[in-house]
Structure 1
Amino acid sequence: MKPLELGPAVSVTADGPLTILAGPCQAESYELCVRVGEALRDACEKLGLGYVFKASFDKANRTSAAGRRGPGVEAGLELLARAKAALGVPLTTDVHLPDQPTLAVQAGVDLLQVPAFLCRQTDLLAACAATPAAVNVKKGQFLSPAEMGQVVEKVTRCRPDAPRVMVTDRGTFFGYHRLVNDFAGVGDLIDLGVPVCFDATHSVQQPGAAAGGTATGGRRERAPLLARCAVAAGVHALFLETHPDPDAAASDAAVMLPLEKTLELLPALQRLHDAARG
């Protein structure tokens, strides 16, 4: 597996430190992004973990049309660029349309995230691959791990000279009114030969389970358990959404971890990662 270089201090590798992709779901404000990012950056630096700040400028896949989507492309990317400059760490955000990857990279995004429901959209994947940024594709719940090999191939075909792609598992299928996680499947993703990330907070979603079916519910208390399982299974990176007051968040309130809980979790993840590498 080739290292995925995301910045001077962050390299996602098979034998390197665990990389944490974390931040609030939405870029609700510059102050929130910097507050969360500084706390996570400092904690990861102390533990020897790689850190990439995450926040979304637009949440295009909301359960309801009335859901709060975020600041939008222009204002949101400007906000994220300011936050990256203040934090001094790599930046990731999700893109939804083929014209967005170039705009995101111009704003300083180092890792473009393709949402799970869009993971087979060839034009979007090609637009991401056409930029100098790395590409993180979340596995759709409708795909097997083996089928993600075709998704990886779409990205690498567009950039054969320097393939820079990672895949993320975020729950494998729907059952028992929740997403179900398959850690044997995570192992199959690792066998694809590219860096693998696990999304611990979106994996505890209960789609359409809140507000009379107009919002996503979830069990945030199970996210640390899944995070520990994924690190023990050998993933190279971990995705976590976190907020100082999740219940007041603009989106994903039911699944985001309180910031203090995330900071408490990181040392255990670091120890598990070291143990898993043996």
Structure 2
Amino acid sequence: MNEPRHEYQRRLANWEARIARGERTHVLLSNLRLAAAALAALVVWLMVRNGIAAAWLLVPALSFAVLVVVHARVLNHLERARRARALYERGVDRLDGRWAGTGRDGGRFLEGHAYARDLDLFGRASLFELLDTARTEAGEETLAAWLRAGPVAPVVIDEVRARQAAVDELRQMIDFREELSVLAAETPVGRTGVLAAWAVRAPAGFAPPIRFLFAACAVVTASLVGAAINGALGADVLTTWLLVPSTIALLWRRRVRRVLAGVDAPER
């Protein structure tokens, strides 16, 4: 692999050239869409004024539809190119010492550590900010746990060496790291900590008879709804039956709500 600065600058220049071409294409397609819309308006005016065939409207309509699809793809590629450019800009800034204050500083991990402030493990211009490229809350917590680790035992040293070997392997895989970073940059850092805690929590513990009862209610309800739709069952019978699963749901609502709350929490 080339010297990192040279490689980053080469790729940065390549992505900047792609972005410039993409922006020119974006402007061209925008103008063509505007022209297609204007042509459609002209055809409609001629249809009203001169009575030309409505089939003529298909030409600008189809052209506009094709342009919309192509334009969407161009915009998608343009956005990905901008994310790739940001990746190498950050790499060059890191090599030039201009990275401080540009990333997530991990300040929330400062509390409860005896010497984190003294060693600048977390906070602005910290080691965490320099190293952090995680896109999930769990990833950031893992990195923070590594940095907060106390005296190292031989087994931990072996683990650190294994991580360094993995880093050395990934160092050569620039295209893979670029693709991964571009995909990861599509969303902000996700709140996965709550979901991870929910995943290791003990099961809700529905007994087999209860699970069978829930399944039976679902099957009976679906069957009765189908029969009611086909006119083989009166609405009063269906309404009466619905009181049964509703009562069961009320009896078990707390446990079900607790399970659903654990899943929904990371989305809020």
Q: Which category of TM-score, normalised to the shorter sequence, fits these structures?
A: under 0.3
Structure ranking higher on relative contact order (CA contacts 8 Å, 6+ apart): 1
**Which structure has more strand as a fraction of its residues?**
1
What's the TM-score, normalizing by structure 1?
A: 0.21
Kindly indicate which of the two structures has a greater share of residues assigned to helix: 2
TM-score, normalisation: structure 2: 0.22
